[in-house]
């Protein structure tokens, strides 16, 4: 029931802001704040049930939606999706809290985006998953197109069109693959398909797995994004309004990495293992390329966009390590990246509001007049850099450890990205907060701004020193996924040729 409420409440809030409170922005803000806050409570209420058995679906609901083809409104939460659902609810509440001066339509689209993202993380019917996956595009298009702001040579209109073309075109083939799976298995239900595979009543040959895997992979690689499917990302993040930037950078990319781990590995294990080599190469390129390009960015939001590309490369690398530590690190890093990147974009939005610009050259010496803003940004930057005792360190360490077990050179190359992340984040901090004292003082964090960023900073510390409170739930599901990757796999057994009998050879 709580999971259903976590989806329905934002939808009801969307319709309320679009109709009842459309002409009253302050009332709409109160309603959106109440809706997002209640959704967070519903998400947190899932924890006790999931903690009892992380691998079993909790709060599962299965409603017959369309008789034929048999499409069900089937949702459920387990240890892998729980913390992503909670992170979505938290970041949405923070995005709404930072949108007090926005109109009712803006708030409504934020709530609909929240419902779509939670739907993706909880959908158990593949067709329903696709519906939620595509639904997330709609609020982003309206928010970017109407409220986006040009940034340098990037226009909000161009960024919106590019974002839509890339993400929509990338997922069309996934729909075709989903339909093929239905025709082959007779169901869209993901759990049913996996049960058939376990029983041996349904299997996909290697020739079938490869095109199906590539169709799913392309959709998720574009959404993540993974190099070289990232062309839409920097402009979209730079031109998006700050509250949307929090959700796009913190959550939208996780739709792709979650899909890779949840669906690509267990459904198409042969193809996933066959493609792991070149996918790892793309992930390492994303890590290094994203970090190097971030170093030379003159715009803070674009710097954070390429930083996100680099960090998401780590997650993809962990997913395709096919090692328990790698998968655990990838799952944990999804949540950690949502927290740290969400905080960095929130703080970048605060800086932009003060100077009407996100160009790094527009700032300097901000720490002199805004010490709390400088402190908050430093904590988030250090967490994103992977400083021990902060959250990202745990995820990145597990990923590198898992990758090292399967291929040490790949782990060594990826580790360079950790060093580079410290370079671009700390250098940007130096130029913005420790540079020459500006002519006009910069306002420090207000009470509302402090209330918005404080939970994220606290989580960076808690998840860094107490990963045992979060990781075991994810690890149990990852262990199950690793077992599932051993089903529907063809093995070739070679027996040694028999040794000729010497006596027979001599005619005795």
What pLDDT tens digit does each residue of the chain (508 aa) get?
Answer: 899 999 999 999 999 999 888 888 889 999 999 999 999 999 999 999 999 999 998 888 889 888 888 899 999 999 999 999 999 999 999 999 998 888 899 999 999 999 999 999 999 999 999 999 999 999 998 998 888 886 666 677 788 888 888 888 888 889 999 999 999 988 999 999 998 888 888 888 888 899 999 999 999 999 989 988 888 888 888 888 889 999 998 898 899 999 999 999 999 999 999 999 999 999 999 999 999 999 999 999 999 999 999 999 999 999 999 999 999 999 999 999 999 999 999 999 999 888 888 888 888 888 888 899 999 999 999 999 989 999 999 999 999 999 998 888 999 999 999 999 999 999 999 999 987 766 677 888 889 999 999 999 999 999 999 999 999 999 999 999 998 887 655 544 455 555 555 554 454 4
400 CB burial (10 A radius; 0-12, 13-18, 19+): buried
Does 508 fall in a domain?
Answer: no
Note the pLDDT of residue 474. Answer: 94
Note the pLDDT of residue 377. Answer: 95
Structural domain boundaries enclosing 157: 2-487
Does 91 fall in a domain?
Answer: yes
Measured CA angle at 51 (ends 47, 52), to 5 deg: 125
Note the pLDDT of residue 489. Answer: 56
Does 504 fall in a domain?
Answer: no
pTM for the structure as a whole: 0.92
The first and second tokens of residue 151, run together, are 């940034």
Q: CB 177: neighbour CB atoms within 10 A?
A: 23
Question: 134 — alpha (psi -120 to 50), left (phi > 0) or beta?
Answer: alpha
* Rounded Cα–Cα distance for residues 230 and 451 (Å): 33
Q: Specify the residue for token string 């994220």.
A: 456
Does 222 fall in a domain?
Answer: yes
Q: Which 8-state DSSP code applies to residue 154?
A: B
Check: CB of residue 316 under 8 Å from CB of residue 260.
yes
The first and second tokens of residue 311, run together, are 């960090």
Query: Contacts by 373-377 with C-beta closer than 8 Å and gap 24+?
Result: 373/347, 373/442, 373/444, 373/445, 374/433, 376/343, 376/347, 376/445, 376/453, 376/457, 377/344, 377/347, 377/429, 377/432, 377/433
Note the pLDDT of residue 146. Answer: 87
With H, G, I as helix, E, B as strand and everything else as coil, classify residue 125: strand
With H, G, I as helix, E, B as strand and everything else as coil, classify residue 151: strand
Number of domains in the chain: 1
Does 317 fall in a domain?
Answer: yes
Question: Which of 243, 299, 240, 304 shows the shortest CA–CA distance to 452?
Answer: 243
φ/ψ of residue 268, rounded to 5: -130, 60
Does 500 fall in a domain?
Answer: no
Note the pLDDT of residue 494. Answer: 52
With H, G, I as helix, E, B as strand and everything else as coil, classify residue 359: strand
Q: CB 331: neighbour CB atoms within 10 A?
A: 32
Q: Specify the residue for token string 């988030």.
A: 380
Note the pLDDT of residue 232. Answer: 87
Partnered with residue 77 across adjacent β-strands are 58
CA distances 107 to 35, 62, 238, 349, Å, are 11, 30, 20, 17
Partnered with residue 58 across adjacent β-strands are 77
Note the pLDDT of residue 503. Answer: 54
Q: CB 317: neighbour CB atoms within 10 A?
A: 30
Note the pLDDT of residue 497. Answer: 57
Q: CB 354: neighbour CB atoms within 10 A?
A: 18
Does 498 fall in a domain?
Answer: no
Does 293 fall in a domain?
Answer: yes
Q: Which 8-state DSSP code applies to residue 468?
A: G
Q: In sequence order, what are the residues at sequence separation of 6 or more whose Cβ sits closer than 8 angstroms to the Cβ of residue 147?
A: 102, 106, 241, 244
């Amino acid at each position: 029931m709580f999971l259903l409420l976590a989806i329905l409440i934002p939808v009801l809030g969307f319709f309320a802001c679009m109709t009842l409170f459309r002409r009253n922005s302050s009332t709409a803000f109160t309603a959106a704040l109440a809706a997002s806050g209640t959704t967070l409570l519903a998400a947190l209420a899932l924890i006790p049930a999931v903690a009892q058995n992380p691998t079993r679906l909790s709060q599962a609901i299965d409603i017959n939606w369309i008789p034929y083809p048999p499409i069900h409104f089937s949702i459920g939460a387990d240890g892998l999706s729980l913390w992503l659902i909670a992170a979505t609810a938290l970041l949405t509440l923070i995005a709404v809290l930072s949108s007090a001066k926005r109109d009712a339509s803006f708030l409504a689209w934020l709530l609909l985006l929240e419902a779509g993202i939670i739907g993706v993380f909880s959908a158990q019917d593949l067709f329903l998953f696709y519906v939620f996956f595509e639904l997330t595009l709609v609020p982003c298009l309206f928010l970017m197109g109407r409220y986006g702001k040009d940034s340098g040579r990037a226009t909000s209109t161009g960024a919106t069109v590019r974002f839509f073309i890339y993400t929509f075109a990338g997922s069309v083939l996934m729909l075709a693959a989903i339909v093929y799976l239905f025709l082959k298995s007779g169901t869209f239900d993901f759990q049913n398909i996996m049960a058939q595979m376990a029983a041996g009543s349904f299997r996909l040959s290697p020739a079938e797995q490869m095109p199906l895997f590539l169709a799913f992979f392309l959709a998720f690689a574009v959404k993540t994004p993974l190099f070289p499917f990232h062309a839409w990302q920097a402009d979209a993040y730079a031109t998006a309004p700050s509250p949307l930037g929090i959700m796009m950078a913190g959550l939208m990319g996780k739709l792709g990495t979650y899909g890779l781990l949840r669906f690509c590995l267990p459904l198409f294990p042969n193809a996933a293992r066959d493609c792991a080599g070149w996918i790892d190469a793309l992930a390492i390129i994303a890590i290094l390329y994203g970090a190097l390009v971030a170093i030379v960015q003159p715009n803070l939001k674009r710097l954070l966009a390429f930083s996100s590309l680099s960090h998401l490369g780590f997650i993809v690398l962990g997913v395709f390590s096919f090692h328990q530590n790698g998968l655990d690190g990838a799952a944990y890093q999804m949540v950690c990246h949502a927290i740290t990147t969400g905080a960095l974009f929130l703080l970048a939005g605060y800086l932009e509001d003060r100077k009407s610009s996100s160009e790094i050259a527009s700032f300097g010496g901000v720490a002199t007049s805004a010490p709390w803003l400088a402190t908050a940004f430093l904590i988030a930057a250090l967490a994103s850099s992977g400083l021990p005792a902060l959250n990202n360190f745990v995820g990145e360490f597990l990923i590198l450890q898992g990758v090292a077990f399967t291929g040490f050179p790949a782990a060594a190359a990826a580790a360079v990205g950790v060093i580079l992340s410290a370079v671009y984040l700390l250098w940007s901090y130096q130029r913005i907060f420790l540079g020459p004292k500006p002519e006009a003082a910069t306002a420090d964090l207000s009470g509302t701004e402090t209330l918005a960023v404080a939970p994220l900073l606290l989580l960076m510390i808690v998840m860094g020193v107490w990963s045992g409170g979060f990781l075991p739930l994810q690890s149990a599901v990852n262990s199950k996924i690793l077992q599932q990757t051993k089903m529907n796999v063809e093995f070739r057994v070679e027996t040694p040729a028999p040794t000729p009998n010497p006596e027979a050879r001599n005619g005795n």
